[in-house]
Chain A
Amino acid sequence: MPVPVNLPTVLRSHAGGAKAVSVEGSTVGEALTALVEQCPGLAGQVIDGDGTLHKFVNVYLNDDDVRYLSSLDTPVSDSDEISILPAVAGGAVGDRFPPLR
């Protein structure tokens, strides 16, 4: 069944500028694999080479972070939607004075 995958602004250029792409899949993993097949520029940006979810993205099934569900094995059904957002993180570790520019 087709599942819409909502893309963040930073990844839309790999989907011809589209905000969402419709893919086939019965699990989150299948849907994301289909997404990468459809948009090859996304390779390595959502799923890592070892088949796990990329560290710097968050993937949601409807309102829930799939890491708190069954990650890529989470089943997808009719009327579900998948959303991808960048993980937003950082911090002052190792911070020093800025380089002279």
Chain B
Amino acid sequence: MLSLPKTVHDQMVAHCLTGLPEEACGLLGGDLSTAQAVTCYPTRNVAASAKLYTVDPKEHLLADRNAEAAGNSIIGVFHSHTHTEAYPSPTDVAQAPDPEWHYVLVSLRDVQPVVRSYRIVDGKVTEEPVRLQPR
């Protein structure tokens, strides 16, 4: 289960909406051992595409350093699907970089954004609950 403060959730969704019509992406900083997200790091999508995303490598480095400096680490990545549901695509699964990460999808297909989170281990996708925290 991924614990997501409302502030982090809102930043994530706002970044995805701002990115339209392209896919938007970013990283989540926090504590891997408790699956607690603490910080949202919105990043540039250097693929600049409605169908693909690539987290800006330089912004990834800065986010990683920022998280480490706070005693945390990068615990996952989020990105939007502009016209499809919040489920990892074959591309997302094939390129999932870290089995310990949480993979958050924000679907903007409908008027109301849909946020779902997954674990991706050895090509196997498992949805996990998201606990929204009121702070």
B97 touches A93 (CB 8 A): no
Q: Mark B68-89, 1 if CB is under 8 A from A, else 0.
A: 0000011001010111110111
Q: Which of under 10, 10 to 19, 20 to 34, or 35 or more describes the interface residues of B?
A: 35 or more
* Residues of chain A from 12 to 58 with CB closer than 8 A to chain B in the complex: 56, 58
B34 to chain A, nearest CB (A): 15
Q: Which of B32, B79, B82, B100 has the most CB of A within 10 A?
A: B79
Q: Total A-B pairs in contact (CB under 8 Å)?
A: 97
> What are 13 of the A-B contact pairs (CB < 8 Å)?
A9-B32, A9-B98, A10-B97, A56-B95, A83-B64, A85-B60, A87-B57, A89-B47, A90-B91, A91-B49, A91-B89, A92-B81, A92-B91
Interfacial residues, chain A to chain B (CB-CB below 8 A): 8-10, 56, 58, 60, 63-65, 83, 85-95, 97-98
